[in-house]
Structure 1
Amino acid sequence: MGHCLDFLSFAPQTRYSLDELIRTRGERCPLPLSLYTGQNLFPETLTRTAERQTRRIELRVNRRFSREAREREQTRRRYQNRLAQAEIDLAFHTPSTVGSWMCMRKICRCVCMPGCGASRAVRGQAAWNGRGRNSGG
């Protein structure tokens, strides 16, 4: 008879657990029910959980790829802006002053000292000649 009393004392909790299991369509399986009970009664729960996890992973990966693509695009745009600005700046330089522009932009390959006019003139003339060829002249 004690066995029957134990069952009756757990009946309200078991009823609540079954109600919760049904209400959530297997998402929550509170005690005293086992997780196995929920999976047996609602097998689609495992599929739904796996699909959610897969979707979360895909979203995380897509966000990372999008962020990396956005960063690459920003880097490319910054480079294009610097290139366009350099072209504008060089349009106002002559062969004798282009060397100072290169030193100011840290483009030159030597350690330019304030009195480094000879190497500047050579680099400036080369840059000026190169610019003239690119423009079709």
Structure 2
Amino acid sequence: MKIVSAMLMCALSMVACPRASAGDKALATFAGKFYGSVSDATCASRDMLLTLQADGSYAVQSHCQDDLQASPMQEGTWSQTWNGTCVQLVPAARTSATLEFAIHDDDLLVLTTGSCIEPVEDPRGRTLRRAATVGER
């Protein structure tokens, strides 16, 4: 009875009732773990594990293959841009740069160098693959 009353109050009042948006559903659908190697200004080949959470947060664990040094964990928020064709990572610490990845077949992310919607000529050394979940091969 209390649930019905609360639903009725939401429907009749001018107060906005919480509900999932289309963006929230897209994040929940695409969320997961991705792994691979990318290069950046400080390291020619950086092994990376990217975890995209359904709540829009992310975490990156990485280490440089050049000197085998682990980098500090990077955290922030992520979103899908360009009508769901790109993933943008915005770090919580503004000392790091925002990263963009082009989405390829929902299982492959390619780090972009400029515009996310332009084709990537050579994805080698800039690719993260979706990690298989338990029970999948």
What TM-score results when the alignment is normalised by the length of structure 1? 0.24
Structure number with greater Rg is 1
Name whichever structure is richer in strand by fraction. Answer: 2
Larger RCO of the pair (alpha carbons < 8 Å, separation 6+): 2
